[in-house]
Amino acid sequence: MTSETPVIEIHDLHKAYGALEVLKGVSMTAPRGHVLSLIGSSGSGKSTLLRCCNLLEDSQQGEIRFKGEPVSWKGSSHHRRPADAKQVLRIRTNLSMVFQQFNLWAHMTILQNVMEAPVTVLGRDRAEVEQAARGYLDKVGIGDKCDVYPAQLSGGQQQRAAIARALCMEPEALLFDEPTSALDPELEQEVVKVIKDLAAEGRTMIIVTHDMKLAADVSDHVVFLHQGLIEEQGPPETLFGAPESERLRGFLSSTQAA
């Protein structure tokens, strides 16, 4: 693998739930060190595309490559599944996902939440993981919350803990699925700051977001999805400053009015 090999490449991806076609032939690339944002109205296929990236969803057609390595499949159409369970695990552990709902374990402290996967899934040394976990909790601004439980934190603090948990896996890329949409505006800004800091560090990220300002501020490349297809894509200054597509112009004006 060369340093130019993208972390994720998707070519002509199709995904349907029964008769409902959600992705109709989408291709995109996430180069190393780049931030890619996926925008579009509800139902456009953004979250489905993100979940297909780390094989949380099975797609029916198309190619997914991780660091140049194609995902191997068996079966076809609605019966297509990944063929190699070890490959799936390796890809998933290298693509850490941060969900809209924080998905923290309620019975574990914040520190235990962040440490759990590196210790149990990756088999890393507990003492080393604890040191790393404390560092990542410091990084996201809640280092003083190691010993409290999720229910004792605000939504913004819980989402920052979820980001620290994702970082502690030392992933090749971070996948964010609407990371701020469950938060009040003031708590949203805490999480936006963390994401901006991570982007400034040159981390590879794919972000599904309804926050156009966040997409404009952190992205190297923005993809606008409409009804399962890429309607327009390019650098944020072009997409937000001089959109070509009538649909994108309409979408941006509706988000500004909201």
Whether pTM exceeds 0.85: yes
What pLDDT is recorded for position 181? 87
> 209 in helix, strand or coil?
coil
Q: Which helix (DSSP H) or strand (DSSP E) does residue 207 occupy?
A: strand 205-208
Would you say residue 1 has pLDDT above 90?
A: no
Give the C-alpha separation, 196 to 233, whole Å: 21
Mean pLDDT value across residues 180-206 = 92
Of 82, 103, 99, the C-alpha closest to 91 is 82
pLDDT in tens, 46-64: 999 999 999 999 999 999 9
pLDDT tens for residues 86-142? 999 999 999 999 998 888 999 999 999 999 999 999 999 999 999 999 999 999 999
Cα-trace Rg, the chain: 18
Name the average pLDDT for the chain.
Answer: 94
Quick one: pLDDT at residue 246? 96
For 201-219, what is the mean pLDDT?
A: 95
Looking at residue 238, its pLDDT comes to: 95
Q: What is the pLDDT of residue 258?
A: 55
- CA–CA dist 51, 135 (Å, integer): 28
pLDDT of residue 131: 98
pLDDT score of 182? 82
Residue 70: pLDDT over 90: yes
> Domains in the chain and their CATH numbers?
8-257 (3.40.50.300)
SS3 23: strand
Q: What is the pLDDT of residues 244-256, one digit of tens each?
A: 999 999 999 988 7
Torsion angle, alpha carbons of 86, 24, 7, 42, to 10: -100
